[in-house]
Structure 1
Amino acid sequence: LIEVFRGAMWENFHPVRLAAIEALGEMGGDKAVEVLVQALRVPKPDKHPIVRIEAVKALAYIGGDKAAKALIEVFRGPLRDTFHPVRAAAIEALAQIGGGTAVEALIGASRGPIWDSHPLVRRAAISALGEIGGDEAVGALIEVIRGPEPDPFHCARLAAIEALGEI
């Protein structure tokens, strides 16, 4: 079945691709992760952002290290998506998977999504740290509150305060 779904991922009609993504998410496993990642591959990701977002959600549903690594690359790395809602969805999906790898990737020093150029992505990363919790997340959230704010509306600081309140 994997090969059938892989073929459906290249159909012109995007609802067919969405159906294949849903089936792959339900199927799970490493092979399904590999096929889903193809929808996110740079330089030729799927042209419909909703298809990429649904692929990200399917990866979260499958879970595991391979899915987590692919999600990290969507917001930071070779698969980095140019459309900010896809990056934000990848961060939210990574928070669902959780674990130390997720926290490390979300903090990610100056390259991390906390410092992404888009406020929606920064807010998603900060909220994800609040969901995952732990000492490292708390430290990073405090740093956001005390650090420089690139957003005139202080969205990052507000999100960090909300996230700390949930830990």
Structure 2
Amino acid sequence: MKEEQEERAFAEILDEIFKAEPLPIADLYRLSDMAEADAAAFWAGWTAVSDDRRQAIVRHLADIVEDNFIVDFAPIFVSSLQDAHPEVRVAALDGLWDSTDLKLIAPLTKMMQEDADVQVQAAAAGSLGHYVLLAEWGQLPERILPNLVKAMLAVYETVETAVPVRRVLLEGLGAADDPRVPDLIVEAYESGDPAMQMSAIFAMGNSADRRWSATVLGEMESPYEEMRAEAARAAGVIGNSDFVPQLAALAYDEDLAVQTAAITALGQIGGDEVQRILAEMLDDPEIEADDELLEVVEAAIEEAAMMAGDFDFGDFLFDDDDDDDDL
């Protein structure tokens, strides 16, 4: 009787997920780690769900896994890679972003090469770039790199490849230890195409190679806020302490995205000077009044402290009077 109630309850939940307005987000968690019978019921009803509804469901599932590492919607994402609706495929790719399943490399490569939708191609290329990064970091086997990088380079160098796809490919290839990549980065940076130039800066950061320090430092003074933000992000990944003075200035940039990127980069670089700069920012009235920016500063302080081996984050947030009160 209990099993019948559970089956009926899941059937009701599925009906709401597939049809109810608005989409019941809380019920989506029931799609994680589905039992065999529940999965069969889900797939039986899935084919009748409208394109827009499938897109909404898969997009919300992707948003959930971004913040929740316990849930597992991988079977839904993997199946949705073959969905007829391109926006569903993009959402599925986003949902699989953190996947380390090597079996996905082949279908992702095929999507990058052959999908009819540019957005899907770009998303697949981005996922493959993440595999490259993880392999270069030693979190995935190095043996995947030669064929993966070869496939990405082939698509990048194909004349017909759309610019959005080439941008994502260059950004991902930035992490690859391949002798051809630096020349591609320089070529993109000198192309005169602002979009490709920004991706070149991203790739410079992704390489974590200090050879690009002068270029990145120069772009932190760009008149364009998007480029300043991109350069600040790259500076944080490269981690050169020579960036600190310029990043400290950008931490007070008029553009919020630039500020956020610069503060985050300071935390990534770390060091005594950075910790002093960030601690002073906590006392800035404008930053204190901006909850979003204050949270970024606190996160950067925590990261800088962890890099220094100092895990007592409270030292930055509470004054001596608070300590006295505890005695």
Structure-1-length-normalised TM-score? 0.70
Farther-moved stretch of structure 1 (11-20 vs 154-163): 11-20
Code of the aligned partner of 2:79? E
Tell me what 1:158 maps to: 167
Which one scores higher on RCO, CA 8 angstroms, separation ≥ 6? 1
Q: Which residue number corresponds to residue 24 of structure 1?
A: 30
Distance in structure 1 (CA, Å) of the matches to 2:77 and 2:128:
15
Deviations 1:80-119 (A, max 9, x none): 131x2221111122232222112122013xxx24422221
Aligned-partner residue type, residue 45 of structure 1: V
- Displacement of 1:15 after TM fit? 3.4
For the Cα contact (< 8 Å) 2:58–2:77, is it kept in 1? no
Give the counterpart letter for 1:19 in structure 2.
A
Residue 126 of structure 1 deviates from its aligned partner by 0.4
Deviations 1:25-78 (A, max 9, x none): 5xx324288279539833x12552312322455688534xxx5454233122xx
Matched ranges for 1:39-78 at <5 A: 41-42=46-47, 44-46=48-50, 47-48=52-53, 49-55=55-61, 62-63=71-72, 67-76=73-82
Residue pair 1:92, 1:124 contacting (<8 A) in 2 also: yes
Question: Number of residues paired by the alignment?
Answer: 151
Q: Equivalents in 1 of 2:121, 2:24: separation in Å?
A: 29
Report the equivalent of 1:144.
155
Describe the SS at the equivalent of 1:97: coil
1:4 correspondence with 2:15: no
Partner of 2:84: 81
Aligned residue number for residue 128 of structure 2: 129
1:139 Cα deviation after fit: 2.0
Q: Contact (CA 8 Å) 1:114, 1:122: kept in 2 or not?
A: yes
Matched, 1:14 2:21: yes
SS of residue in 2 equivalent to 1:163: helix
Equivalents in 2 of 1:40, 1:52: separation in Å?
Answer: 15
**Deviation of residue 2 (structure 1)?**
6.4
- State the structure with more CA Rg: 2
> Within 2, Cα distance between the matches of 1:156 and 1:40?
34
Q: Distance in 1 between matches of 2:65 and 2:7?
A: 15
CA gap 1:58/1:119 in 2 versus in 1, 3 angstroms: same
Return closer, same or farther for 1:40/1:100 CA change in 2, 3 Å cut-off.
farther
Work out whether residues 88 and 121 of structure 1, in 8 Å CA contact, stay in contact via their aligned partners in 2.
yes
Unmatched 5+ stretches in structure 1? none
CA distance in 1, matches of 2:79, 2:161: 23
Contact 1:9 1:17 in 2 (8 A): no
**SS class of match (1:29):** coil
Instruction: Give the distance between the partners of 1:96 and 1:31, measured in 2 at CA.
Output: 23
Amino acid at match of 1:93: G
